[in-house]
Structure 1
Amino acid sequence: MKFNISEREGRVRPDGMAKVTGDLKYLTDLTFPNMLHGKILRSSYPHANIVSIKTERAEQLPGVAVVITHKDVPGMNRFGIIFPDQPVFCEDKVRYMGDAIAAVAAESEAIAYEALALIEVVYEELPVIDDPKKALAKDAPKLHPSGNILHRATFKNGDVSKAFDDCFTVVEETYELPRQMHAYLETEGGVIVPKEDGSITVYAGTQHGFKDRFQLARILAKPEHEIRIISSPMGGSFGGKDELNIQPYGAILALVTGRPVKVHHTRKESVWAGLKRHPMRITMKTGASKTGKIVAHEVRIIADTGAYATLGPAVLDFAVEHASGPYIIPNIDIEGLSVFTNNGVSGEFRGFGGNQITFALEGQINRLAEALGIDPIELRRKNIRKATDKGPLGQRIAPSNGALEVLESINALCMKQKEKQKQEPCSKWKRKGTGMALAMHGGGLGFGRLDSAGGRLALNHEGKIEIAFGFEECGQGLLAVIENIVIKEIGCSQNDLKIVIGDTALVPVSGSSTASRGTSIVWQSVQRMKEPFTQKICKRVSQLLSIPENELILGENGLWRVNGKHPCMTYKQLAQEMKDGSPLVVYTNFHFPTTPDAVIGGHYLYTFGGVKVEVEVDLLTGKVKVTDLDHVIAAGPVISPNGYRGQIEGGGVMSLGYTLMEEAKMEGGRYVTENFDTYLIPGIADIPFHTNVQAIEALYKDDSHGPRGVGEIGTIAITPAIVNAIHDAIGHWVQHLPVSSEEILEAIEVRRMLEWT
């Protein structure tokens, strides 16, 4: 089934009213009695040895409670999701401007800042490696004991060299992708509250509370049960808060002082220390037969991971996996390097390496079509994957016809757009162009990575059906997804339901709120729990009321007899009857669906997306404006229509910024852009007036995996579609992002000169 999301309405999200009225407080809004304010001293240089650190003057400042350094870390002075290689506090060397040297807790922020200025650090500057090329040079200094290569990922199939020799047409291009900020509304921050028994509660934004707890336990040398993470709600993440940020500093300060400590980054502090999207340099060589069959594909990726690992290896693996996208190419040679530099740390970002590689791949497809004189849609149609084809790494995947269905829908939209353009009057100083692109995106963490999931369903003592997951609500609308699934599958009403998330003391392990996995996990969990939960409740009510179990069903406000006109027992009444009996609770534990083939990082469940855009290029200024934007998404059944559209439209705007204006530029290991006065993100005037989201809900026959997540798929095909539309308008291919007005003007001038001659 296909439909436009705007044609179907959904419930108001559970946290919607509280958010728009301001009643819902973010974690950084919290205050506690006797609370101190923490601040972190960051490095003055992108690369240097630390000769000495003196904190005496800062410690003597009135209002300062404590100053801490690496000497005050109780346990392991390192953190990192995959490789714990990042110092909590640097001992002898700094590797980027975000490295922490010391931290202060004081009675006010002003005093804390004053204390930071009194800490004396003597550095010995070292050569700055601010580009992966420098890092890979033979004589480059080693940033880490193992060298400057964090990770190498490869995939090969067939004989690429021979296949290129047999090609009718070969195109080769290098694509350069920038560093991008997450630009979340709420910067990194939170409050850490110590208790008399030595335990702590951490109120801070994260995408994986249990993973934070695990890392903090090692840093603080405490058992995990003494650390409670409360992580919802937060003001956005998009991957940027998946890694620890302020938590270790606030926790140590709180434990040392015995008082609550708030640490909240300013935007500048967030820019310096926060994660960014990986800059990549991608060279692709792609060859096809005369009829348009793609037969050879060679890819080389160099990713700037910055000073530390975080999720750099997984991002590179994902890019390598998606280097052939939704196309079947028999001969492939892909190699990727993730390289350490003294630049800001690159980590998880919505799309997870898929955005960069898809920009390059779709650029190659369009250039091939132009070189062959074949319609770009037809070229894709000749090479598109079929429903039962294997995955891009040769692994078995869940069958899906989504790629072809998306392509055909996008084709119809493009044809409609072209007809519309013919009827519009031409402008002397503006040119319009239409572009399209496809994307394929794997959900979950991939084969070989611990991807545990689960949930809990219970009737609590208040008479509410309580559903609990170890997820976090970071603005993505997960609460609405949980509510809609439970109401549909269980049969209760909104008022009967209580959702518990984002608190490690109250929820089961469900894995991370990442990798477009949340909706899938909720749906699969409820499928596993609904029958045993219903049976437990019906059995109890049957015993209490002497009604046969098969005549009872769960409904609004309680248990109903089949064809009954009102509940025979409310949930609240049942809870009262249960006070002295065993609780009505059901758990589920399982792993996110993975391929049965031993392909590290290979995914099993994929979503497919397509984008059609219209752009308007100003021939006088070189500015590009997106005027129309259509998404087609094949991700299975839609659970929350408003949330679905919000994810796709929001992701589209985020990638529009990535394409046309955003670059967290660095020079010599230092950020040139430190705030939103120079780092521009799309505003309301930049959003296309016409934006439409079309959902393809049908799953392949016998697919039992349910809906897929859509948190990332809406971001991926935007960039190549816009660049395709620019080419349609002025005949110029862009290969370096963000698109610059200067480049556009130069291209226009070159075209004019060619036309004159």
Structure 2
Amino acid sequence: MTDPKPRAAANNKQIRPDGIPKVTGRLRYLTDGSMDGMLYGKIKRSEFPHALITSISVEKAAAMPGVRAVITHEDVPAVNGFGIVMPDQPVLCEDRVRYVGDAVAAVAAETPAEAEAALEAIEIKYEELPVLDSPEKSLSSEAPLLHPEGNVLHRNGYQKGECEKGFNQCFCIVEETYEVPRQMHTYMETEGGIIAPEEDGGISVYMGTQHGFKDRFQLSRILGIEEERIRVVSSPMGGSFGGKDELNVQPYAALLALKSGAPVKIHQTRSESMRSGIKRHPMKITMRTGTDQKGHILAHKVEITADTGAYSTLGPAILDFAVEHAAGPYIIPHVEVNGVSVFTNNGVSGEFRGFGGNQVTFALEGQIDRLAEKVKVSPIEFRKMNLRAEHDPGPLGQTIVPTMGAEHVLNAMEKKPPRLWRKKEWKQYGTGIAITMHGGGLGYGRLDPAGGRLSLTSDGTIEAAFGFEEFGQGITGVIEAVVTEAFGCSREDVTIRIGDTAKVPATGSTTASRGTSMVWHAVQRMKGEFQEKLLDKASAVAGCLKEKLSLGRGGFYCEEEQVLTFRHLANVLETDIVTTTTFDFPTTPDNMDGSHYLYTFAAVRAEVEVDIRTGQVSVAGLNQAVSAGPVIHELGYKGQIEGGGVMSIGYTLMEEASMRQGRYLTENLDTYMIPGISDVPFDLDVHPIESLSENDPYGPRGVGEIGTVAVAPAIVKAIHEACGVWTNHLPVSPNKMLEHLTEREVQPWIPK
């Protein structure tokens, strides 16, 4: 088969398919929609973080003008609970509330104002209970049980060697406790959308989610109707970062739509989103790490306590991930890691970009930098002497795909030339480096299916269909790039079908940095068969030998002459040309629950300015080297790493969804600070490392999370280099910096 001149060259620099609609404002999110006869839904949430419900009265609300439906727990026809793994969060609470986001009732009315008025008319009486607002309180022997099984959601650990024996051989030991905050996703589009009842008793769901088929399963369980009668349309949506992986407002809109017989729209305000939405897990991590006199790490002991809030969601898996990554890319002979995830009356903690890796990497890299200082070895050399090699096992001792990623990313950052600062008397300057490894996919022993479908449509385009969702991460650009490269066609020859359970195959969750990898694997599996089917039909129609035919821009070529278009072939076909595939995400052969097989690696170099007058830390440079295999779509790749880096600047320096006595102290974005354009470093660079190991068969790894993971420790080390301050607590606010500077007797600059 020849390769004709008109064949479209692989172009991983092409623009994103959704780029122009987004920057021009033409793109309509699901919450922008409306339907004839649509009602507006509102949710009545708990007044208290922990209380018994003694009575619920909705009669007044139901009789108010414009109100078409009011629901309580009595209106849930089947399972009154949801949760990706364990359905332990009530859809509508019956006798007890466990956090201020708990839903007790909901209404649908003809206008938003009428819905709000009806909420106010719902009468709920409570009997307050003791508030467990910290894991320490929940673990005390006097604490009331938040769930029948107790206040511990999950425990996990890992042991290798003999830690105490290792510490006895150490020349230098560092022990620190690190605390990381509750972080909000702050996606542009808050939770919401429309659910419409259908004539067959089913529903159509137009709401943002990261896993339409999983939402369909959960809604089926709640509503008591077959999954096949639930359609979930989930793209496009304005951001998720893990925050829409779990059900949020879907159950309420569904119940209201079925009760009222009309479409119901719910769109949470920012304040409602902050109160009820899941957050990044706050964690307290104690690490004791020791080295010999030269700096070789001999022993590493870790204790992790995660505040999972009132309900489970993916709390167990997040703790498992943190435990797995507690030793990171380092080879340590003696390791002991213990983790516990604890129920409290705080807001629900759950899925967030990095999935527990950010928290534990902040602590681990903090240990590495402190040890390097104590044994008087440069931070880079210290890492090099302890770094894993190409064929070393994974952090739990499991078999992983060979990779030189750790060494490659560290070397790339070492070669970065130092910044030439324009120094000012009242500013101090520093540079920090950190590295990390991050497992992709859901891990060993977890259902992690994938697949896809290719077909020739009636309008003469190659349709690529996947059960993934587009929430800003750029999966449509990846699909377009992979398909055009596989078949040498143009972007105009490709139709992308995603985010609609009625029209796409079930290909697993759009989570865990797996989307790019799974699209690539699916197309590699399908392209040979699909191309053969196309060429068989084209040969018969064009009257050209199959061996002389090839695919190219717009259709089929016999040697270098186009002899048939895709559209012409589609018009004369009597049967559709379709190829499908199903498979699972690659996993380690070792029976170690949750452990990963494919890893990405990143090194981060952060450069900061510390204003000693105000305590303000500014990130002047943020450079990342990422080892994740071939780059499929350059704009999407860099966008993920750069965007993730800026998100982590917020995590490091300003963001904290603080709670006191089970109540959020921050209720809106006016007091919850996230990075603005002025906080984005001018020097923001991404260095992709595409070579992994020789003959690697696994193609591109996902980069949706890796760009967020090691930013915080790099910034904190840069702060230390600038002014000698070590901090174990995030975020590093100006007030905290001034406290640190005062403790170190760093004098504020005073104008002469």
Q: TM-score scaled to structure 2, two decimals? A: 0.97
Deviation at 1:754, TM superposition (A): 11
Root-mean-square deviation over aligned CA pairs? 1.1
Q: Which of 556, 580, 602 lines up with 2:553 in the alignment?
A: 556
Range with bigger deviation, 337-346 or 689-698: 689-698
> Structure 1: which amino acid aligns with 2:408?
E
Is 2:393 aligned against 1:398?
no
What's the CA shift for 1:189? 0.2
- 1:749 offset after TM fit, Å? 2.5
CA distance in structure 2 between the aligned counterparts of 1:464 and 1:727, rounded to whole angstroms = 56
Match of 1:577 in 2: 572
Give the match for residue 602 of structure 2.
609
Give how far 1:744 is off: 1.8
Alpha-carbon deviation of 1:49? 0.2
Question: Partners of 1:367 and 1:247 in 2: how far apart?
Answer: 47
**One-letter code aligned to 1:449:** R
Q: SS of the residue aligned with 1:505? A: coil
1:597-654, CA deviations, whole angstroms, 9 ceiling, x for partnerless residues? 0110100000000110110001111110001111111101111111111100000000
Paired residue for 1:3? none
Pair 1:498-2:495 in alignment: yes
- Greater shift in the superposed pair: 195-204 or 331-340: 195-204
Structure 2 CA distance for aligned equivalents of residues 276 and 545 of structure 1: 58
Aligned to 2:8: none
Q: For 1:519-560, what per-residue CA distance to the aligned partner results, in whole angstroms no more than 9, with x for missing partners?
A: 000000000000000000111112223322111111111111
Deviation per residue, 1:481-502 (Å, 9 max, x gap): 1001100111111111100000
In 1, Cα distance between equivalents of 2:675 and 2:23: 21
Determine the C-alpha separation between the residues in 1 that align with 2:744 and 2:284.
Answer: 27
Where does residue 187 of structure 2 map in the other structure?
184
| Offset at residue 201 of structure 1 (A) | 0.4
Q: Secondary structure at the match of 1:752?
A: coil
Structure 2 counterparts to residues 500-519 of structure 1, below 5 A: 500-519=497-516
Q: Which residue of 2 aligns with 1:278?
A: 281
Q: Aligned equivalents of 2:736 and 2:20: distance in 1?
A: 45
Alpha-carbon distance in 1 for matches of 2:725, 2:200:
66
Mapped contact 2:193–2:206 kept (Cα < 8 A): yes
The Cα shift of 1:9 comes to 7.2
Partner of 1:335: 338
Please name the residue that 2:745 is paired with.
Answer: 752
Among 109, 113, 124, which residue is 2:112 paired with?
109
| Paired residues for 1:395-434 under 5 Å | 395-413=398-416, 416-417=417-418, 420-421=419-420, 424=421, 426-434=423-431
Q: What is aligned with 2:480? A: 483
Amino acid at match of 2:388: R
* TM-score (norm: length of structure 1): 0.96
Q: Could you say which residue in structure 2 is the equivalent of 1:193? A: 196
Pick from 281, 287, 292 the counterpart of residue 290 of structure 2.
287
Code of the aligned partner of 1:570: T
Whole-Å Cα distance in 2 between the matches of residues 546 and 208 of structure 1? 45
Match of 1:34 among 33, 37, 40: 37
User: How far is the alpha carbon of 1:675 from its aligned partner?
Assistant: 0.5
- Please say if 1:620 is aligned against 2:623: no
Whichever residue aligns with residue 319 of structure 2, its letter is L
Distance in 2 between residues matched to 1:373 and 1:195, nearest whole Å: 70
Indicate the SS of the match to 2:485.
Answer: helix
For residues 646-685 of structure 1, the aligned pairs below 5 Å read 646-685=639-678
| Aligned: 1:459 with 2:459 | no
- Whole-Å separation in 2 of the counterparts to 1:15 and 1:655: 25
Q: In 2, Cα distance between the equivalents of 1:754 and 1:392?
A: 43
Match of 2:717 among 716, 724, 728: 724
> Equivalents in 1 of 2:26, 2:377: separation in Å?
56
Give identity over the alignment, percent: 59
Q: 1 CA distance for matches of 2:652 and 2:252? A: 35
Do structure 1's residue 160 and structure 2's residue 163 form an aligned pair? yes
Alpha-carbon deviation of 1:22? Answer: 2.0
| Shift in Å, 1:17 | 1.2
Name the residue aligned to 1:636.
629
Matched, 1:133 2:136: yes
Letter in 2 for 1:475: G
Q: Secondary structure at the match of 1:568?
A: strand
What is the match of residue 543 of structure 2? Answer: 546
Instruction: Encode CA deviations 1:197-235: one digit per residue, 9 max, x unaligned.
Output: 212100000000000000000000000000000000000
Larger mean Cα displacement after TM superposition, 369-378 or 277-286? 369-378
CA distance in 1, matches of 2:520, 2:592: 26
Q: Is the 8 A contact 2:541 2:569 kept in 1?
A: no
Bigger shift: 696-705 or 739-748? 739-748
SS of match in other structure, 2:468: coil
Matched AA of 1:396: T
Match of 2:468 in 1: 471
Superposed displacement of residue 753, structure 1: 7.2
Instruction: Summarize deviations over 1:645-691 as a string: whole Å, max 9, x none.
Output: 11000000000000000000000000000101000000001111111
Amino acid at match of 1:719: A
The CA distance in 1 between the partners of 2:345 and 2:107, in whole Å, is 25
Kept after mapping to 1: 8 A contact 2:12/2:631: no
* 1:4 match: none
Q: After the TM superposition, which of the residue ranges 722-731 and 190-199 deviates more from structure 2?
A: 190-199
Range moving further from structure 2, 256-265 or 12-21: 12-21
Out of 166, 177, 181, the residue aligned to residue 174 of structure 1 is 177
On the 8 A contact 2:321/2:594 being kept in 1, the answer is yes
Q: Measured at CA, do residues 460 and 137 of structure 1 come closer, stay the same or move farther in structure 2, by a change above 3 Å? A: same
The match for 2:731 among 735, 738, 754 is 738
1:456–1:425 distance in 2 versus 1, CA, 3 Å: closer
State how far apart, in whole Å, the 2-side matches of 1:591 and 1:574 are: 33
The answer for the alignment partner of 1:214 in structure 2 is 217
| Structure 2 counterpart of 1:242 | 245
AA aligned to 1:590 is F
Does the residue aligned with 1:334 lie in a helix, a strand or coil? strand
* CA gap 1:754/1:652 in 2 versus in 1, 3 angstroms: closer
Structure 1 distance, partners of 2:54, 2:610, is 54
Q: Who is 1:568 aligned against?
A: 563
Question: Residues 677-735 of structure 1: CA distance to partner in whole angstroms, max 9, x if unpaired?
Answer: 00000000111111111110112112110000100000011100000000001111110
What's the counterpart of residue 299 of structure 1?
302
**Unpaired runs of 5+ in structure 2?**
1-10
Structure 1 stretches lacking a partner, 5+ long: 1-7
Report the residue type matching 1:467 in the other structure. A
Choose the corresponding residue for 1:317, options 310, 320, 335. 320
- CA distance in structure 2 between the aligned counterparts of 1:743 and 1:63, rounded to whole angstroms: 51
Once the two structures are superposed, residues 49-108 of structure 1 have per-residue CA deviations (whole angstroms, 9 ceiling, x without a partner) of 000000000011010001100000111000000111000000100000000000000001
SS at match of 2:609: strand
Native 8 Å contact 2:208 2:234 kept in 1: yes
Rounded to whole Å, the distance in 1 between the matches of 2:12 and 2:703 is: 18
Could you list the per-position Cα deviations for residues 164-200 of structure 1 after superposition, in whole angstroms to 9, with x for gaps in the alignment?
0110111000000000000000000010011122121
Could you tell me how far apart the structure 1 residues matched to 2:742 and 2:67 are?
Answer: 61
In the alignment, which of 358, 365, 373 is matched to residue 361 of structure 2? 358
Contact 2:641–2:686 (Cα < 8 Å) also in 1: yes
2:378 is aligned to 375
SS in 2 for 1:147: coil
Matches within 5 A, 1:5-154: 10-154=13-157
